[in-house]
A = this chain, B = another copy of it.
Amino acid sequence: MFLYNAWYVAAWDHDLRDTPLPRTFLKQNIVLFRTTEGSPAALEDRCCHRCAPLSAGTIIGNEIQCGYHGLVFDRDGRCVRVPSQVKVPPGAAVRSYPVVERHRWIWIWMGDPVRADQSLIPNLYWHADPSWRMIGDYFHVKCHYQALTDIQLDNTHSRFVHPTSLGNDGAIATAPRLRREANAIYGARLMPNSDPPPIWRRAADYQLEKADHWLTWTYRPPGSITFDVGIAEPGTGAFEGNRSRGITIYNSHGITPETERTTHHFWTSSRNFRCEDEALTRTLGEIRNTFLEDVAMLEAQQRTLEVFPGAPMIDINADAPTIQARSLLGRMIDAEQNAPAAAVRA
């Protein structure tokens, strides 16, 4: 089950250059392209004539031409030209999707186009703000998208999955505070005078044994999670906002279902200190390996789930954030499915 009336991250801005990009979201095959004018476009990746994929075609100005018989479609999906005849047949068109370029990412709306309100796109200003330094990447992960959400929201796994980078004992000992709104969940794990995770210790060149360590996040279903994490000298007010004696990192995750078994994972890690320090950028770039440890665990879990379909699961206390997150998304999907005027779906 998917939520359709939502913005999903579809691509990095630099993924769209001068050739079409085929990509599947929510089991729908889509071609993304950037018009010569520079704006992104997204169409069903299937020519309405003989089902050739439009992604095997060519961008021509603000339009895309099928590579088989040359039919041309505009960014609204209308066929505007058939080279071998004068008139375009009635009804010749493919589905188009709303797309927006913002915060270095291309966002796609998979539901009813009239409901595609751009103000619903999360504000990830630090991706492009000159006072921040952002790194990021894209992973194709062979797991259900909710499992990828789970691993982000419950960081008691870090002690076991990321022992040399994010793992610490404090997270295991400290329960997070959760706050729920209509369309978001906020979590805060505050660990005063705790063992700092190895990667933040290295990044800050931190010498004290203990630190105040925080890990707060916002989950906006279905696919956006942002983190504010860091360490500071104990008792210097970091939890209340004084970060002058510590370091702050903002991590963002765009989690977009490809199918029920595969997921697109767009992520960034940003800092607002020593932005020009390339050695530090390399140190913080180790987070990529950390996130690949997540991928390995998630894909192993997915394989196991497929071998034991319907196996019962035992809950533990640490599951509180993931249970709340699944519950909120589940209710949003139910509401959409049961809406009187059903949302547009494939």
Contacts and interface: CB of A to CB of B under 8 A. Distances in A.
A316 B52 contact: no
Q: How many copies does the complex hold?
A: 3
Interface in A312-342: 312-318
Interface string A50-76: 111100100000000111111100000
B45 A304 contact: yes
A156 B49 CA distance: 13
Interface in A148-169: 150, 154, 156-157, 159-161
A311 B28 CA distance: 13
A38 interface: no
Interface stretch (A82-90, A96-104, A262-270): A82-90
Contact-size category for A: 35 or more
B318 A89 contact: no
B51 A316 contact: no
Nearest to A322: B50
A305 B53 CA distance: 9
Interface stretch (A128-136, A244-252, A272-280, A295-303): A295-303
A contacts with B: majority SS: loop
Contacts of A85: 316-318
Contact of A70 (B56, B65, B160): B160
A317 B92 CA distance: 13
A89 B156 contact: no
Given A46-B311, A69-B316, 20 more contacts: A29-B307, A29-B308, A45-B304, A50-B301, A51-B311, A51-B313, A52-B297, A53-B300, A56-B297, A66-B160, A67-B160, A68-B161, A69-B156, A70-B160, A70-B172, A83-B156, A83-B159, A84-B316, A85-B317, A91-B314
